[in-house]
Amino acid sequence: MEVKKETEVGCGGVPTAVQLEAINAQAKGKLTAEQVYVFSLRLCDDQVDRDGERFDTVALPELAKLFIGKTGIVDHKWSSDSQVARIFAAEVVKEEGISYIKAWAYIRRGGHADEVIADIEAGIKKEVSVGCAMGRAVCSVCGSEYGTCGHVKGESYDGTVCCAILKEPMDAYEFSFVAVPAQREAGVLKALGSRRTLKELADELGVQAEYRELFKQAQLGTQYQKLLGDEVIRLCLSLNLGMEEPVLRSIVSKVSAEELMKMKAALQARMEEMYPVRCQLPGAAVQDIGVESGFMI
């Protein structure tokens, strides 16, 4: 899952001795304080954005590490000509109940870079969009993988507004200077999915029919797994195992279809053992021979 989030540029200027040491850890040759310009960035936070998504607070420290050493470009143009900066430090900061990643980046002074620095100082280049890969997006209402539970981002359920929580950082790509932010504080512009989607590959290779069939089968598999999860939850509640439904839903959301099938079989066997099926009327074979049955109905 590729994620792009927009944010803002902070203060900048001459690096400190500690910052210069971190910068030279990224550089091939040794740079002096006069050769570089440093500025701070608020990369992303744990607040719900306009797309109804947010980063998991627990995921931020690991994501911050992944951004160290990543390049800064313009308008997400992945080319060496668009490279203007590089992140040399990042940390998680908590202010007024909000956790966010604060990073520091440097630009080598001279040539076109001086124009970029001037735009930063003038407040023209203020917003940046960061790209990263997250392993999971889960529903804030039930804890299931978002898109499999039926809850919709932005909709309210029993007073709780649903959002997708981005978890398990996998990689950080870059940050890019952009024109328009999408989030109130650390603006967001995201694209979920891989860099090249399966549909794009299907269109390119001319196998759209096979893709549609695979997509249909995947949807059926997702629906079947949801039904399995619902049945496991029903059996657990019927057996009074002492766990509430939200907890059970969180558990089944992390279990594969094969494991759900085994859980269902074990719970079903337990249910039959505790509550065996009994016939209301006994058959003729179990009637007491000594009892007059001529007038029995």
Q: What are phi and psi of 41, to 5 degrees?
A: -135, 140
Extract the tokens encoding 52.
Answer: 């109804």
E strand or H helix at 198: helix 198-205
Domain count along the chain: 2
CB 170 within 8 A of CB 135: yes
Is 23's pLDDT higher than 70?
yes
pLDDT at 35: 93
Quick: pLDDT tens for 155-201: 999 999 999 999 999 998 888 876 654 444 432 233 333 345 666 67
* 3-state class (DSSP) for residue 73: strand
pLDDT at 295: 58
Q: Both 33 and 9 in a single domain?
A: yes
145 assigned to some structural domain: no
CB 253 within 8 A of CB 144: yes
Q: Both 14 and 82 in a single domain?
A: yes
Is 281's pLDDT higher than 70?
no
Quick: pLDDT tens for 213-252: 887 888 888 888 899 999 999 999 988 888 888 888 888 8
pLDDT at 182: 43
At how many degrees (to 10) do helices 208-238 and 257-274 cross? 30
Q: Which domain holds residue 180?
A: 2-134+172-194
pLDDT at 276: 83
Is 14's pLDDT higher than 90?
no
296 assigned to some structural domain: no
pLDDT at 61: 95
Q: Both 181 and 265 in a single domain?
A: no
Q: Both 186 and 243 in a single domain?
A: no
